[in-house]
Each structure stands twice: as C-alpha cells, then as structure tokens.
Structure 1
C-alpha cells in the first residue's frame, strides 16, 4: 500500500477534503466501532486543531506533511489535559499533567490525536484482554484477540480508524498485535525515540513504536519522533532516514554489508510452532533464495530460555516501577485503618490479576535470597543474548523470523492460561533483550514476518521490508 499520509496530505492541499470533515469522519467511525479499541475520544482537541489546519489552507499557507493527519495514542502516554488510564482501575480518573516527548513532536509537526487507545493494563499482557474497557477484538475476526499489549492501536490502524497509531513495545507489544491484524509495526533501536511520558513497564526494553499500513508511513512517523531528549538519559542521537534510502532495490546484495539473511533454526524446528506458520515461513525463505540471496541458519537460545529471561527481568522492573502507584500521589486511594493497610487495599483492589501476578513475581525475583540466584542470572543471560546477536550480525545483515509461533487465540483463552500467553512472546522478546530494531510486516505467514537488524540499523530494516514487498 502506498503512503496514506502523503495521499491525505495531497487531498488537503488540493482542497478535495477539509481537515475538519476528515477528523469528524474518523471520530464518528471510532464512536461506532465494536472492536473495543477506544478508551477516550479526543473530540474537542482534535476538532480545534483541525479548524486551525483548515484556516491555514484557506489563507494559502503551506502545511507540513503530517499536518492534519489523524492518529491514535496507546493509553499509556501522557497528553496534557487528557485521561491517561493505562486501561486500569487505579488510574481510570487520572489526567496527564504534561505531554510525552514523542507525542509532543508529532503535535509540533501538526498531526492530530483523536483517540486514547485500549490496551493491556500497564502493558501487562499479549492479548489486550487485561483491561477495564473490555477485550480488544481482532480487526479480521471479532471472536479472536486483537493482540497485545498495543491491541487497540493495531486494530484502529487495520480498520482505518486512524492513519497511524503510537504503541509501546516492551517484549513485542507493537510487533505481535501488528502481526495479528496484518499491519506494519516497528520496535526501533532502544533509545532512538525518547521514553519520557511513556508509563514505565520495563525501563530497559520499553520502546515507543509506530503502527501503520505502509513502510513509508512508518518511516515518516519514525523520523519525526526520533532524537536525543534531555529528559530521557537513555535516548540517543540518530540520523534521519530518507525516502530514497529505503526504496526497493532489485538485488539485496546492493543494500549493505554481506547481503545475507539469517534465521534461527530452533525457532522453526520448535514443536510449539503452528505447522502452517512453519510451512509458510520456509516458503518465504525459498522465495528469497530464488532471488539469489544467501540464507544462513543460525543457532540461538531456546525460546523458553528467552521467555524466562525476559519475564524475570521485566517483572523485576515493573515491580519497581509500579511501587509509586499507592494511591497517595497517583490513582484512586482506598482508605483503611492505617497507612499501611490503605496502601495494601488500594493496590489489591485497583490492580488487575495479571498486574498483581507480575508485581509479586518481580518482588520475589528481587528479594533477599533470590536476587543472586534468579535476577543476576537473568542479567547475565541478557548479556549473553546480546553477545550472540553481535556475533550473528558479523555473518548476516538481516535476521528473519516469524512474529508468533501461533495464530491469534480466541478471546478468553489467554486469561485461562497465563503461561501460554507468555509463550506467545517467544519470537519477539529476544530482540527486545538485545535492544534491536525490529519490524513486523503483514506478509509471509498468517501473523506476518519479523525483520531485525543490528543496533541503529533501522534504515536497513525498512529497506529490506520494501524489498520483501516485491519478493514474497
């Protein structure tokens, strides 16, 4: 699909549509939608900003490429004056006192936020069922989950309710729902986009990520949000990616480096992978080979080790990050006979079962007698995983993988079996631990393919995605 952003921009410039009419159309569609993607509509703000864009066009002023483009925001981002609920009981009445850096950059470019989107509470889940607003329903089949934790964001893009949406990816929370709903979803290199104003889940892997219907729209939004931020010490300086740089090339060997791709054979030889996803992935590999591209099977950590390592560290970090949510400074406070009991009942009553499971698990991991045995071992494994990636990218330019081992489950199934839900992240969490740029594309298997490159090689990921559009 060609760039929707560029198409709408041209329509606005040519006065074929008004920005106000466009925004109202999207708001009406969101109001009527039955996929449970909406936590709150930003009607007043969106229409106010649209009127400003229309006034500029009427006056003959030049508008920017993103000016007037409607987008959605996963409800874990701050947008001053709007609700930031994290789909939780604890923060259901909380209003943002400031705006996240990534969102502010989009506002500065003229993009118009129209909706705060449903998600797993605090990002805790892989199905967007762990939410006070009701389970997000898949864009193709409402009996299936929308994926998570950025399920509302992915479904809104897939259903054309938003032109793009901003999700958050900790262990696959942009990539997996993008795969479930057949759209593009990017987890950039860790630190490329500031995390300031994103509610922290696991600070060492949290990434701001765009979801859209084309590689070009991903590129446009990524460029706007990227950059060093004094408010986030983990943020990094990065170069802008040009449209010319990612255009489709006829031969992958002309891209960069060795012109080889790799895949992890233990992902594909795993007993847990769906037979059709496996067969489709291997077919995609053969089509790539037919283009004369070298493909190398790589050894990697077993998927259960990746999942265990990720959840050990992620639970530890979320237990620490959510310790501030006690009803005193944030959220709905429930009074009891003393301060300690007030803290206890506030957190017990307002956190979901999944969030409590992760906090308890994290506190266990960090507790005396367990931290050396479990947490420090997890840190050592993460270092080993990163070293493995460094060695792999000396041999190949791109690693290709399925996004998920299975197709989307039915709504309700994940809640019955949290362990199965964790294992659905088996193919995404490793790249999060390595802090690598990874893109889901809606091709190759029923839940798409995942393209990964070495750190700071986001451009190469987008370039190869364009290459695959004409290859598989």
Structure 2
C-alpha cells in the first residue's frame, strides 16, 4: 500500500538518506515557498531532533515508523516554546506554555515538526484569507484560494513541503482544503482524538485530524493520535486500525447519497455530473446505491453557524489582553477591553463574535440558539436512521470549485455556503474523509460513529474504482 511515511522510514533505516538531510531539504522548501503557508519555522528544534535520529541509526538502534518523519502543525495547536498565533493580531507574540496532547503523541513517536502553518484566524473562514500572514495560495492554481481554515496545512502536504500535516476541522476545515488541493483529509469521530491544547473555535464540533497524500499515511497518523485523554473528558477509547483491515472491500455492500445535495440549484453542473458518474462506477461493481433524504443545505448551514458562532463568542471572551495577548491601553479598563478586541480581531472573527453574542442574548436564545440545538439533535437522529440502511454515505466535498483569492472576502455569505456539504457531518459528530477522486474537489465519504476503518477501506476501494 502506498505510503510516504513507510518509504522514507525505509530510506532512513537503509542509510540512503540522513534524517538531517531530509529535514533540511523540507525546511529549505518551506523557506522558499510562495504560497504563504508558513507562520513560523521550527528550524532549530527540527534539526536538533533530526541529529538525534541520525545518531540512533549510526549506533545500530531501531527507530519507530514515524521517527524522523517531518510534519506540519496548523497554527492553532500549542507546542511548548513555539509561537502559537492562530494567525491573529491578538496572539501574534504568544508562546505556548505546554503542548497539545495530539501533537505530544506524535513527538513521542519521534515525528519531527517543521512548521506552524498559516490558517484562517482562529479557524474562522473557509478560504485561509482571514489571516495576518496573507492569503494562502492554492497548490494547483495560486490565483485561487487554498480553502480553509486548514489551508496552509493542505498546501504544505500537496507541495511535499511536509509528509503530513495536522489540521483542525470544526465544520469542514480539513476536508474542504483537502478537496481544493487534491489530497486526503480526515475529520475523525468527535472525541477519538483529544482536543486538549487546540485553540477552541466551536467546542462541540472541533476535531483534530491528519492531511496526507496517501490513505496509509492517514491510517498511521490516526492510530498514533487516537485514544482517551484525562485532560479532555469528551475523548473515547478506540481500536487501532491495521493495514490488513483496510486492504479489501468485502464488507461494504450499500452506499447512500443525499439527493437534495445533488439537486440543489447551487451545485456546479460539472461537479454534479462528475459525482453522478462516480455513483454509476460504484454501482457497476455490484454495490447497491440508495438515494437518501436529508435536511436542506441552507438549514444545515444556518444550524451550524448558529451553534458555532455562539460557542466561539463564549470561547474568545477570555481574550481581552489581561492575561495574554496584545493589549492596547485605553483611558479606562472598559475602554482597554474594547480597543484591544476591536483592533486585534479580524473582521470575520468580529462578525462571528457579534453573531454569537446575539444568538445567546436574552430574547434571542430561546428562538435561535435553543432551536439550533434541537435541530442538531434531529440531524443526529437522521444519521442514525440512515446508517441502519447504508454502510457509507458519499457526497461532494463542496458545491463549487475554489474561488479566486479576494472573492470570498467580498461575500461572506457565499463563503458560509461553501460549507453546505461538510457542516452536517460535523453536527452529527461523524467520521468523514475527503478523497482526491470523483470531482474537481474530490469526494467526501462518511461513516457511522467510530467507523474510521470502514472509511479507509472504502477509500482504498474508490482509489481503484474511480
């Protein structure tokens, strides 16, 4: 099974390449890149770790599969001693005091972080343009957006600057940029990977996940990061997924798709035609394909953003320059708070904070926020019903191809609607994988909770089928 991680591991073990050379080559690519993917390089620490791996190999010691493998980290993860800016003004000089659990597990396995990656500020966006470091450029066409909010992570993988990257997905922020840049991106089941040490956007849907060029690399990284964590009470126990378990498709008999996604007037005709052609190829293998009914995409988007804005308003209320962040003094304490937040948050972040405070305010919370929570429960129930009928749900990742840089900033509503096909699965807390086949922005395959193994198995099947 194709795997960059395994290939590089073998080259290191065979002494065909030194870890220092491997890391140095990737660092040079990151320094020279013109895609705005880098917020900060971790050069000194990366080279120091590489030297330790080389010393182990020289001494004849065994190294682990991930040991010495270079990777990238979306700049919303705490890594002790590194700048963790969330691509924002308010935290542009903030250094982490501790390391996120998911990242620590990778460090413990010997993987080497090279870069904190550019993203939409605090994850607020679907294009990676809402950032103080400049818009991330699409890996395939630099005139287009990279997708968001994990745009820098997706482009670094697509351009081979990193072997894999760790993104964050709240409503599609791994899956959509993976689709825009023609790579794999996984949002696991909510709770499979600890959220401890990630800057919270919407706590009830935030997920840690990998982006990579191969299914096998997704599997390897997922296994390392998964598991319960005493620092995150939402985490769940999970079973390790073996390579053999995802190598054949003898258990997937029925696939479903939401016909209202495909009949939506907003979908690009080419994406629709390519999706339906993919469905026919799946049918031709003998798998049964069922049409499913689901909530309208505008209902999904409004439900998601109602809840996400409320949660982000609450989560970001702590950032006022008092304990940390870029404080701007005013005439009095209230004025200081106001100026600090007004000057240091992006327009998109302020839009979401104001919207969240609105839906949580007296007189609106019952009519808007509580209704959103009720709809989320209905969406989850609908998924439970669907997965009694089908093994996998397949859908386009996005209704349209990537817009030009600048267009999304002019039309925030269009940006929100670009998440129409991803947010529902976030509300359902389901595992969902973007695969780079089927349409211009890939296909999205979704399973029932804790069915990541089924997703990876079906992804291997699609690779050979479409």
TM-score (norm 1): 0.98
Which runs of structure 2 are paired with 1:152-231 in the superposition (5 Å)?
Answer: 152-231=152-231
The structure 1 residue matched to 2:445, chosen from 425, 440, 451, is 451
Q: Does 2:446 align with 1:469?
A: no
Counterparts of 1:387-426 in structure 2 under 5 Å? 387-426=381-420
Distance 2:153 2:28 in 1: 17
Superposed CA deviations along residues 309-336 of structure 1, whole A, max 9, x for unmatched, are: 0000000000000000000012000011
- The answer for the alignment partner of 1:42 in structure 2 is 42
Q: Aligned residue for 1:300? A: 294
C-alpha distance in 1 between matches for 2:75 and 2:351: 21
| Superposition pairs of residues 69-148 of structure 1, within 5 angstroms | 69-148=69-148
1:342 maps to which residue? 336
One of 424, 443, 449 as aligned partner of 1:430: 424
Q: Which residue in 1 is equivalent to 2:435?
A: 441
Q: Does 1:384 align with 2:392?
A: no
Q: Secondary structure at the match of 2:152?
A: helix
1:263 maps to 2:257 = yes
Give 3-state SS (helix, strand or coil) of 1:470's partner. helix
1:361 aligns with 2:355: yes
SS of structure 2 residue aligned to 1:235: coil
> CA deviation digits over 1:365-387, x for unaligned, max 9?
00000000000000000000000
1:278 correspondence with 2:280: no
Counterparts of 1:179 and 1:248, CA distance in 2:
24
Alpha-carbon distance in structure 2 between the residues aligned to 1:468 and 1:147: 23
Aligned equivalent of 2:29: 29
Hey, what does 2:284 align to over in structure 1? Answer: 290
Cα deviation 1:236-264 (Å, max 9, x = unaligned): 11000001000033xxxx215xx100000
Q: What is the match of residue 319 of structure 2? A: 325
Structure 1 ranges of 4+ moved more than 4 A:
none
Q: Which runs of 5+ in 1 are unaligned?
A: none
2:165 alignment partner, SS class: strand
State the SS of the aligned residue for 1:314: helix
Residue 230 of structure 1 aligns to a residue in which SS?
Answer: coil
Q: CA deviation at 1:168?
A: 0.1
RMSD: 0.6
State how far apart, in whole Å, the 1-side matches of 2:43 and 2:411 are: 38
Deviations 1:256-298 (A, max 9, x none): 5xx1000000000000000000000000000000001100000
Within 1, Cα distance between the matches of 2:232 and 2:428? Answer: 19
CA displacement at 1:139 relative to structure 2: 0.1
Residue 2 (structure 1) shift:
1.2
* SS of aligned partner of 1:292: coil
CA distance in 1, matches of 2:185, 2:160: 15
Paired residues in the alignment total 466
- Secondary structure, aligned partner of 2:5: helix
Q: What runs of 5+ residues in structure 2 fail to find an aligned partner?
A: none
CA deviation digits over 1:46-95, x for unaligned, max 9?
A: 00000000000000000000000000000000000000000000000000
Q: Residue by residue, what CA displacement relative to the aligned partner does 1:188-212 show, whole Å, maximum 9, x if unpaired?
A: 0000000000000000000001000
Q: CA deviation at 1:337?
A: 1.1
